[in-house]
Structure 1
Amino acid sequence: MASRAVTIQDVARRAGVSTQTVSNVLNNPERVRPATARKVHAAVDALGYRAHAAARRLRTRRSDTIGLRLAPLPAGISGTILDVFLHEVTVRAAELGLRILLYTAADREEEIIRLRELVASGDVDGVILTDTQAGDPRPAWLTEQQVPYVCFGRPWGEEEAATHPWVDVDGAAGTRAAAEHLIASGARRVGFLGWPDSAGQGASRCAGWRAAVVERGLVDEAGADDLVAACPDRVADAMQAAAELLARHPDIDGLVCASDSLAFGALLAGGGGVGVVGFDNTPVARAVGLSSVDQRIDLVAQAVLDLLVQDGRITAGGAARRIITPELRVRRAVIQDPSLMTANGESRGDALA
């Protein structure tokens, strides 16, 4: 005979409290004294009680669900970052008893339409926005509708004026660490391969490299621009841009790249003895032994939920913000100029990692 399911009354009897107190601990913990909550949680753990989620949601009129847009399929190597973020935030949300609901939208305007449907139907209590930019209409709409939300990505150009919570990675710190690693490894002419945007994330990553090479005396401010190449975030474009930069400056012995897509293209461009460091620490970087900056997406996901969830409930987080410091993962580059290889394929000299 199957054993009887544990009920909320069983938990109340074991903890020596009322069923309403147990309900408050599980659904509205802010109403209960910490000592009482500890007794109830101990009884829950001892009895293996599992609240009926559907019934709880009907009582509280909360879905315990966070909406997150499923981004279009990425075109480049570094496009997997949002996939990693999705995994990390889903795992951490589940640990809090929350769910992630994925939705699709072709652009920001269509996303607002989709969010309007999800909020009106009660399917989501909060939202995580990605790919935010200055003038983005989504934060303003969510604020007006009083829907709790957090952005993964800062509102470039509006950071100080922003009234909503956001989490971002310090890209400048990452590229600075990459450049300093190359310099410490012996590089004396370190270039930068980035994107053709003059503001936002691309500019931030370029600024980190620039600060390192100027402060270390490798180049002055005026000369730094000549060591920068820019192209779309595609391997083929990076191959061409890197080849042209190396042709102009054959003394370059290190390259910091704004993404792993660009770094992989730079490696394929040849340039034996040129140390290459990417950004994003993608599976490709790990597979080919490419040094790369790890954004620490696990910490990003945790910070996002810290701002969105308080005492187990999805709630508005005000204008709070968190900036995550990335970490450089050092490896040995495996693609070198053919002239540096022996007849049996072994290296005559290691390229800088």
Structure 2
Amino acid sequence: MPEAVSRPTLEAVAARAGVSRATVSRVVNGGYGVREPLAARVRRAVAELGYVPNQAARSLVTKRHDAVAVVIAEPGTRVFTDPFFALQLRGISKELTAHDNQLVLLLTEGRDDHTRVGRYLAGGHVDGALVFSLHLDDPLPGLIHDAGVPTVFGGRPGWRDRTGTPVYVDTDNRGGARTAVRHLVGLGRTRIAHITGALDQTSAVDRLDGYRDVMAETAGGSVAGDPALVVESDFTPAGGERAMRELLGRRPDVDAVFAANDLTALGALRVLRERGRRVPEDVAVVGFDDMLPLAEQSDPPLTTVRQDIEGMGRLMARLLLHGAPAPGALAPGTLAPGAPSPDGDGPTVPAPGSGVILPTTLIRRASA
């Protein structure tokens, strides 16, 4: 076995700089009260010796871990095959890295994992949590509330219970859906179907509501359209295939489809090709996400509603780092809700129970 390499100690840095151990500790842990000439000597000694602070010891001093838990309420089989999660994690990772924070990824395969995640968060291992892809019956909000860690949620919360008033970042799902369906109406399509996402998630419910809004407009009243034109799915390509086959069986005269996300739309396109339906001549198709490069490389290239997935992840992390409140109270040293970030370039922290809603844009390509 190779011998362990001895690491420079705090005492060695103090000896090299000619200062006390306490002075070195204050400098490396970002404390105040050290005159600049002494601080410069300490920094020079740190660089010369290659000293790396012990994170466990540093946490005892600073009461911070420089680590953030990212909790995705989905199994690994979904997380590692859906590009949505990769994009959101990339945004989160960029922001955390820029602030020298570590990302701790926690997934939930089943109910036992919910308890494990709650226990981990309550154990004081991280400074906060970013949580997304929650389902309406998910116990995680209550467990996170009990853990007492500052938290920002991805997506509009769909619960109303003792968890209080969460801070969240979301996309204008309902407005984006309206834009998509109005585009299809503008093309002269009259039998417009919707393949939903998983309806135990607020994003899918909001997109269905947006579809129904426009169907009611075109009907000239409160009727939300033909229920046979709505098929429930699950945000996956396989789900899109199943739903498209069911839809063609119900309504073979369908002339347009608004799919709840791009992966669902890709599944629908595959079935339409199998059945000899031309896109967009026979059936126009619109997705949601603008998942690149998939949306551009589909056959035909997909008209879709763009949401800034990476930007949403980055904004979630910025809100947390700039002071998202812990459940029920503000964490010590954080911003009051609604206050601007301390360095002037971060987002305003929304008041508890409020959220940041990001806009969407229709991207027109060949499918509609």
Give yes or no for TM over 0.5.
yes
Alignment of 1:3-82 (within 5 A): 26=30, 54=54, 56-69=58-71, 71-75=74-78, 79-82=82-85
> 2:363 matched to which residue of 1?
329
Deviates more, 1:49-58 or 1:261-270: 49-58
Deviates more, 1:128-137 or 1:73-82: 73-82
* CA deviation after TM superposition for structure 1 residue 268, in Å: 1.9
Is the CA contact 1:78–1:261 (under 8 Å) kept in the aligned structure 2? no
CA RMSD of aligned residues (A): 4.4
Question: Any gaps of 5 or more consecutive residues in structure 1?
Answer: 1-6, 9-18, 32-38, 334-352
Deviates more, 1:200-209 or 1:108-117: 108-117
- The correspondence for 2:101, drawn from 98, 101, 104, is 98
> 1:265 matched to which residue of 2?
267
Q: Distance in 2 between matches of 1:319 and 1:220?
A: 30
Alignment of 1:113-262 (within 5 A): 113-117=116-120, 119-120=122-123, 122-158=124-160, 162-195=164-197, 197=199, 200-217=202-219, 221=223, 223-246=225-248, 248-262=250-264
Deviates more, 1:169-178 or 1:108-117: 108-117
Is the CA contact 1:259–1:278 (under 8 Å) kept in the aligned structure 2? yes
Compared CA separation, residues 184 and 312, structure 1 to 2 (3 A) = closer
Q: Distance in 1 between matches of 2:103 and 2:238?
A: 36
Q: Distance in 1 between matches of 2:308 and 2:145?
A: 28
SS at match of 1:187: coil
* CA deviation after TM superposition for structure 1 residue 135, in Å: 5.0
Q: Distance in 2 between matches of 1:312 and 1:148?
A: 6
> 1:290 matched to which residue of 2?
302
Compared CA separation, residues 191 and 74, structure 1 to 2 (3 A) = same
- Letter in structure 1 aligned against 2:204: G
* CA deviation after TM superposition for structure 1 residue 66, in Å: 0.1
Q: Distance in 2 between matches of 1:244 and 1:79?
A: 23
Is the CA contact 1:172–1:207 (under 8 Å) kept in the aligned structure 2? yes
- Letter in structure 1 aligned against 2:174: A
Q: Distance in 2 between matches of 1:145 and 1:157?
A: 18
* CA deviation after TM superposition for structure 1 residue 93, in Å: 1.1
TM-score, normalised relative to structure 1: 0.70
> 2:345 matched to which residue of 1?
none
Compared CA separation, residues 250 and 110, structure 1 to 2 (3 A) = closer
- Letter in structure 1 aligned against 2:99: L
* CA deviation after TM superposition for structure 1 residue 63, in Å: 0.8
- The correspondence for 1:86, drawn from 63, 86, 89, is 89
- The correspondence for 2:287, drawn from 261, 274, 278, is 278
Superimposed CA distance per residue, residues 70-101 of structure 1 (whole angstroms, 9 cap, x where no aligned partner): 65334599822122111110111111222211
Compared CA separation, residues 108 and 188, structure 1 to 2 (3 A) = same
Is the CA contact 1:263–1:277 (under 8 Å) kept in the aligned structure 2? yes
- Letter in structure 2 aligned against 1:164: P
TM-score, normalised relative to structure 2: 0.67
Give the % identical residues: 26
Q: Distance in 2 between matches of 1:234 and 1:127?
A: 26
Is the CA contact 2:285–2:302 (under 8 Å) kept in the aligned structure 1? yes
- The correspondence for 1:111, drawn from 101, 106, 114, is 114
Q: Distance in 1 between matches of 2:152 and 2:270?
A: 39
Compared CA separation, residues 254 and 164, structure 1 to 2 (3 A) = same
Is the CA contact 1:166–1:320 (under 8 Å) kept in the aligned structure 2? yes
- Letter in structure 1 aligned against 2:116: I
Q: Distance in 2 between matches of 1:227 and 1:220?
A: 17
Q: Distance in 2 between matches of 1:210 and 1:84?
A: 29
Compared CA separation, residues 109 and 173, structure 1 to 2 (3 A) = farther
Deviates more, 1:70-79 or 1:93-102: 70-79
- Letter in structure 2 aligned against 1:332: A
Superimposed CA distance per residue, residues 308-336 of structure 1 (whole angstroms, 9 cap, x where no aligned partner): 12279997574342222233322213xxx
> 1:16 matched to which residue of 2?
none
Q: Distance in 1 between matches of 2:235 and 2:198?
A: 9
